[in-house]
Amino acid sequence: AKRCGHRPNKAIVSKEEMVDRIRAAVDAKTDPDFVIMARTDALAVEGLDAAIERAQAYVEAGAEMLFPEAITELAMYRQFADAVQVPILANITEFGATPLFTTDELRSAHVAMALYPLSAFRAMNRAAEHVYNVLRQEGTQKSVIDTMQTRNELYESINYYQYEEKLDDLFARSQVK
């Protein structure tokens, strides 16, 4: 069954099926700036040599980047990078199989891009749980106000003021007509 790449008992499609999928993506590509990145979860299922063999086949099929999932050692990233000669992505997710390598460590292992897919979400979710527990226990959010963004900070971070200006300009122009 399809599972998170860091979970046990995952199944993977055959190398041939994955190559066909990549070829189909390459054939369907209309934008030269669109990058085909092939992911492989084969390391945990078939081992490093087979995962690298798959990666090479994916690159031969047209993959322009590689996402080897659940890598456990920096040396493995180097081996992938040396074998495929395309940029490598590292998925640095907390509580998974991959250690929390630093960006310098990843760079030294020839990793071109790092993905932190849930880092902020996990922190935000923990903060949200805390706020809701305080609301449930205290009946107000007063004791956690100092942990929150102010309205101004929020609006600055999402460029809300620029959005308001654009709306004002748009409505002003429609009033002139």
Percentage of residues in the chain having pLDDT higher than 90: 86
As given in the structure block, the two tokens for residue 123 are 């922190």
DSSP string of 12-73, one letter each residue: ---HHHHHHHHHHHHHH---TT---EEEE-HHHHH-HHHHHHHHHHHHHTT-SEEEE-S---
With H, G, I as helix, E, B as strand and everything else as coil, classify residue 88. Answer: strand
Inside any domain, residue 128:
yes
pLDDT above 60 for 19: yes
How many distinct structural domains can be found in the chain?
A: 2
Let me know: does 23 contact 15? Beta carbons within 8 Å: no
Inside any domain, residue 3:
no
pLDDT at 88: 98
Inside any domain, residue 147:
yes
The domain in which residue 125 lies consists of 120-176
* Residue among 94, 93, 95, 113 at smallest CA distance from 103: 113
Are residues 30 and 113 located together in one domain of the fold?
Answer: yes
Are residues 93 and 142 located together in one domain of the fold?
Answer: no
Inside any domain, residue 72:
yes
* Mean pLDDT to the nearest integer, 117-132: 97
pLDDT at 33: 96
- Assign residue 40 the CATH number of its domain: 3.20.20.60
Q: Give the whole-angstrom CA distance, residue 98 versus residue 92.
A: 6
Inside any domain, residue 126:
yes
To which H or E segment does residue 123 belong?
helix 119-138
Let me know: does 54 contact 40? Beta carbons within 8 Å: yes
Sign of the dihedral through C-alpha 99, 103, 105, 111: positive
**Which of 95, 117, 139 is the last residue in one of the domains?**
117
Are residues 83 and 165 located together in one domain of the fold?
Answer: no
Burial of residue 17, with CB atoms counted within 10 A of its CB: 0-12 exposed, 13-18 middle, 19 or more buried:
exposed
Are residues 111 and 132 located together in one domain of the fold?
Answer: no
pLDDT above 90 for 100: yes
Residue pLDDT, tens place only, 50-92: 999 999 999 999 999 999 999 999 999 999 999 999 999 999 9
Are residues 107 and 29 located together in one domain of the fold?
Answer: yes
Inside any domain, residue 6:
no
Are residues 68 and 82 located together in one domain of the fold?
Answer: yes
